[in-house]
Amino acid sequence: MKKITCIIADDEALAREVIERHVQKIEQLQLAAACSNGLEVFNTLKTTPADILFLDIQMPHLTGIELLRTLKNPPAVIITTAYREFAIEGYELNVIDYLLKPVSFERFLKAVYKYELLNPMQVKITAPPPGDKKDDSKAFIYVKSDKRMVRVMLHDLLYIEGLKDYVRVHTTQGPIITYQTLTYFGEKLSNDQFIRIHRSYIVSLNHISAYSATQIEIGKISIPIGGSYARDVFEKLNS
């Protein structure tokens, strides 16, 4: 069966890893290269043809937009970025889809389906069966705190609070202070289990006890829902 070859372009290693994991879940996709800047993508495409380019916008040497304007015959492009304001410019350059970070697998799959619709004779995309999911009870992340890497089981993680100079990770065993950014956790955590509801908060879907139009409750704690996040939050909670 013919594979759809992909190139990932993002200057953040964690963001590349998220897309790589998504690619690995779809049998018909094959990763050809992972690049950390626009110039590397430009040079890679000279020798490594690709069907889809998963392209970040803010990258050193060449931004994603600058790269697209440079390429004469670019592959199909799916933008992956943390910035909403480039959406119109991206679509003017005929990108297939525009994904906002952190990119969930569900949203990633929809973008790949759009590629299939535009190339119906190439390959049929099938989603991985439910049995391919990892055992969430054993999933964990490491949090850097006080010169140590502390293991936190995901089922114990309640919510993450971004403060001015640091982040407070709230768990069932108590809070952990870290200088890792909220963006780091947003890219590291699965959208199936966690959701960003405010510029300063990421919460565990499994620990939400109630919600209203303006806030989410985790036990006795009330957490505000940011206006720009409300639509995505309610779509997720009602799905």
Question: What's the pLDDT tens digit per position in 162-188?
Answer: 998 899 999 999 999 998 888 888 888
Q: Give the domain ranges of the chain.
A: 4-130, 136-237
Residue 164: predicted pLDDT: 82
Q: Is the pTM of this model over 0.75?
A: no
**Angle (deg, nearest 10), helices 13-25 and 105-118:** 60
Residue 184: predicted pLDDT: 83
Euclidean distance between CA atoms 142 and 80, whole angstroms: 25
Residue 141: predicted pLDDT: 85
Mark the ranges of the chain whose per-residue pLDDT is less than 50. 132
Residue 209: predicted pLDDT: 92
Q: Which CATH superfamily is domain 136-237 in?
A: LytTr DNA-binding domain (2.40.50.1020)
The residue length of the chain stands at 239
CATH of domain 4-130: 3.40.50.2300
Residue 136: predicted pLDDT: 58
DSSP alpha helices (H): ranges in the chain? Answer: 13-25, 38-47, 64-70, 87-92, 105-118, 182-188, 230-237
Euclidean distance between CA atoms 199 and 227, whole angstroms: 10
Residue 192: predicted pLDDT: 81
Residue 177: predicted pLDDT: 94
Euclidean distance between CA atoms 160 and 201, whole angstroms: 6
